[in-house]
Amino acid sequence: MTISHESILLASQSPRRRQLLEQIGVAHELLLPEAHEDAEALEAVLEGETPDAYVQRVTRAKLDAAVARRARLELPAVPVLVADTTVALGKRILGKPADEAEARTMLRALCGHTHRVLTAVAVACEGNRVLHALSVSRVRLEGMRESDIDAYIASGEPFGKAGAYGIQGRIAAFVAHVEGSYSGIMGLPLHETAMLLRQAHVRF
């Protein structure tokens, strides 16, 4: 992998995060987990953990793993960016649904209520400095009929997404109100991310 000193390394498998970085003109290359790494294990919720503490802990764990990966692959010491998004209904953390039944349970729980979407961002930069930010947004989904939920699950969109939905997809027809960062709900709050990257002296 050839890395320009004008680029950053994005340690994320999310195509939405790539798209959002491209939107604001940040040059980047992917730094994905290797075959022996268990990236999903980092996302396990600890007993009694609050959504805020959870998303920030997971983000830092992902950053530590990514920095170690960069060193192992002998890549240039350019900034590394990671992010993690979770959905919280009260104190309940809604991660990525394991199957259709779990996706249906999550969507039923979210409908008719306002929930929080928390995205933590962290950047490792020169001198072993770590910069971090937390974006908290609120989303209200109006009621969905069972047939609406069935159709949404059949589309495949709920899978691989915290809370069983992606706001940029078909669920948008049921989003009654948004307060906060739309890009943060997608998975990378651009205002906070740009602020961190400027602090890390990244040009874009």
202: left (phi over 0), alpha (psi -120 to 50) or beta: beta
**What pLDDT does residue 4 have?**
58
Residue in this structure with the two tokens 């503490």, named with its chain if needed = 53
Q: What's the chain's average pLDDT?
A: 94
**What pLDDT does residue 126 have?**
86
Q: What is the pLDDT of residues 99-146, one digit of tens each?
A: 999 999 999 999 999 999 999 999 999 888 999 999 999 999 998 999
CA distance 37 to 54: 20
**What pLDDT does residue 66 have?**
96
**What pLDDT does residue 1 have?**
58
Strands 175-179 and 129-141: antiparallel
CA distance 182 to 85: 13
Parts of the chain with a pLDDT under 70? 1-5
**What pLDDT does residue 40 have?**
74
Q: Which of 83, 81, 45, 60 is nearest to 186 (CA)?
A: 83
Q: What is the pLDDT of residues 87-103, one digit of tens each?
A: 999 999 999 999 999 99
Q: Catalytic residue positions?
A: 84
